[in-house]
Structure 1
């Protein structure tokens, strides 16, 4: 986004409702425009979204749409805000059910975030890079940081924890998207493909062969989200304990 696009996105996401001073309104609203874009992206991917396509879905001209939204970059920002689950609607209840403590709360936060990416896989493309975040997305970040209050971590560390967990969740969601969300998950699909290779070349990779044999005998596949999340939380726990020992929390 350019600086001009940032300003336009801020006004659209955070400012008062847009009301064109002239031209046919035809009942257009930012929510309706974003909703039309979300429907297209859900069905065909983010690449299928264009100002012309959204205008056609709404039964207006592209020029009429431009009176509300300056361009596609701002449109995608509106779509991402509309598609992100409202944290006040479901996330807060899930966090309350997790009880006290930063660890269970961050675990719930991660799983709820993955559910949002699963519902709208194109969000993975729409929520990267330097951009303007809307109230819902900022609300998600607020919940993650709030879960760490009182842990003795500095502000930068709290933000980094949220980014670290979100990155892990995004990686899992990307793998699921790439494999089409097939039965058994991406790990099972990867294991099946790798197993075919190992049948003929397994002697060259004995450690990997032993690991795959263990999986076949004892299970444990499709646990990448939980395994990685628990290890991340373990590491955060060590940092929290270190800060407590130091007795001088960073601010």
Structure 2
């Protein structure tokens, strides 16, 4: 994501500020003269605090400027647009991925840990899930998460051209299931019901309206009372993600073994 806004950067070069330049700190500090009163990092962290506390709808350049005690126009000298601010916010909020040191001895365990940790990031900064994905990761922290997934997958026996699609699938699954979990949690909060109450209501609705002729497979699962068990997990979506990841990794092992 780039911007067409033309701004004079601290290095004196005039031209459009790209998200990559902002993410990699190319213009955070002046080449000479006094230390700037603001930095891209400080602006982004103030914006993250707003999004964490009040949601993405509360975020604006005006709000960030007010919280920092500066004029809105002064922020544009560092971050040309709200879209680019979001790029930097996401990268900082994600933080660097915790990459194990030493050789990879258990690729499955590393992938499982990676999924749990990226799930935690989405839980702590749920507004990230509201930002439209407009391209592949380019920030240093986001690339570190990508690297943290590629490292164990490279030891799974996959061909080099197969590693990136699997990493992309895992990222997408974790992100989308986290978004669904967030949406459902917000809906329950608005309705004033617990997870157990919501699951019980869903099970009752299925039993009331699902008939075996139209929904034969679903009807069988209802008869087995599988939907009555939904509330046994603190978060059903979390359980679904874990199960799906396990089966994906089983499939990778079987796929690699079959080629030998």
Question: How far apart, in 2, do the equivalents of 1:25 and 1:47 lie?
Answer: 32
- Give the aligned length: 235
Instruction: Name the TM-score, length of structure 2 as normaliser.
Output: 0.77
In structure 2, list runs of 5 or more residues that go unmatched.
6-15
SS in 2 for 1:179: helix
The equivalent of 2:244 in structure 1 is 228
Q: Hey, what does 2:178 align to over in structure 1?
A: 173
How far did residue 4 of structure 1 move?
4.7
| 148 and 13 in structure 1: CA distance in 2 versus 1, 3 angstrom threshold | same
Give the superposition deviation at 1:218.
10
Aligned to 2:74: 64
Shift of 1:131: 5.5
Relative contact order, higher structure (CA 8 A, sep 6+): 1
Matches within 5 A, 1:98-247: 100-126=105-131, 128-130=133-135, 133-180=138-185, 191-204=199-212, 206-211=219-224, 213-214=225-226, 216=228, 221=233, 222=236, 223-243=239-259, 245=260
Give the CA deviation at 1:26. 6.8
Cα 1:165–1:234, aligned 2, differ >3 Å: closer, same or farther?
Answer: same
Classify 1:192/1:18 alpha carbon distance in 2 versus 1 (closer, same or farther; 3 Å).
Answer: same
**Given the two structures, how large is their TM-score scaled by the length of structure 1?**
0.80
Aligned Cα RMSD in Å?
3.3
Contact 1:148/1:158 (<8 A) preserved: yes
8 A contact 1:172–1:225 mirrored in 2: yes
Conservation of the 8 A alpha-carbon contact between 1:77 and 1:126:
no
Pair 175,188 (structure 1): closer, same or farther in 2 beyond 3 Å: farther
Contact map agreement 1:20 1:67 (CA 8 A) in 2: no
4+ long deviations beyond 3 Å: 2-7, 19-22, 186-190, 202-205, 214-221
CA contact (8 A) 1:85 1:136 kept: yes
Q: Give the whole-Å Cα distance in 1 for the aligned partners of 2:231 and 2:53.
A: 35
